[in-house]
Amino acid sequence: MTSKKSRTERRFRGVIMPTGSHPDIRRVKRQGDYPSIHGNKLWKSSCLIIDYLNRHRPEHVESVIDVGCGWGASGIWCAKKLGAEVTSMDADPAVFPFLNVAAHLNNVTTTPLVSRFEKLTTRQLRQYDMLIAADICFWDELVDPVYKMVNRAVKAGVKHILIADPERPTFHEMAARCASKHCAELVEWETRSPIKARGAIMIIENA
């Protein structure tokens, strides 16, 4: 028999992620908050980031920016398991009440930042050791802004850059440009349990 909690929460590599039927998520929805830029659920590419970092834990990561964070699963994992100070960035301020529910379930906090990719400056990026992102290159018009953001992150000295996607053509176009300029590596990745996810992670180690 499926328990009530299993219907309202999912657990993955030590992080708790609420579902849309979680009482606190339903409360946020009743208050009228609803994301408008696809930040309305857990995107499975977040699981690819979490699983990869769980197996290949970077050393000396104190500050992380989770770009296009949505409900913030990847950043919350970094706060919980790496002990990092996490900035959760999204263009849509309506995602943050949902993210706060998830962060509270995991007994962590992250710093919200409302911004678009093209507004994230080199100066801002200098304060981070790692940039993570999942499912942020889903439209043709996002390829160039994401690519240019990666350029600024490399210039700023961000040590680790990881962007995951279920391998949309737009993601591959962006990753190919990053491979040409920054020797980015594209790693196929798959998780089977307790959440199935499949795709690729673009990785830049900016040592």
Q: What CATH code is carried by the domain that includes residue 201? A: 3.40.50.150
What pLDDT is attached to residue 40?
A: 44
53, 78 Cβ separation under 8 angstroms = yes
pLDDT digits (tens, 9 = 90+) for 82-125: 999 999 999 999 899 999 999 999 999 999 999 999 999 999 99
Asked if residue 166 has a cis previous peptide bond (ω within 30° of 0), the answer is no
Q: List the structure tokens of 47.
A: 């699981």
98, 43 Cβ separation under 8 angstroms = no
pLDDT band at 1 (very low <50, low <70, confident <90, very high): very low
pLDDT at position 28 over 90:
no
pLDDT at position 3 over 80:
no
What pLDDT is attached to residue 59?
A: 86
What pLDDT is attached to residue 39?
A: 40
Give how many domains the chain has, as a whole number: 1
Q: Is the dihedral of CA 203, 187, 71, 102 positive or negative?
A: negative
Give mean pLDDT, residues 52-64: 95
Residue with tokens 């440009």: 177
pLDDT band at 36 (very low <50, low <70, confident <90, very high): low
The angle at the Cα of 98, spanning 35 to 7, to the nearest 5 degrees, equals: 110
DSSP H helices in 35-168: 45-55, 73-81, 96-105, 122-125, 143-156
- Domain extent for 23: 4-205
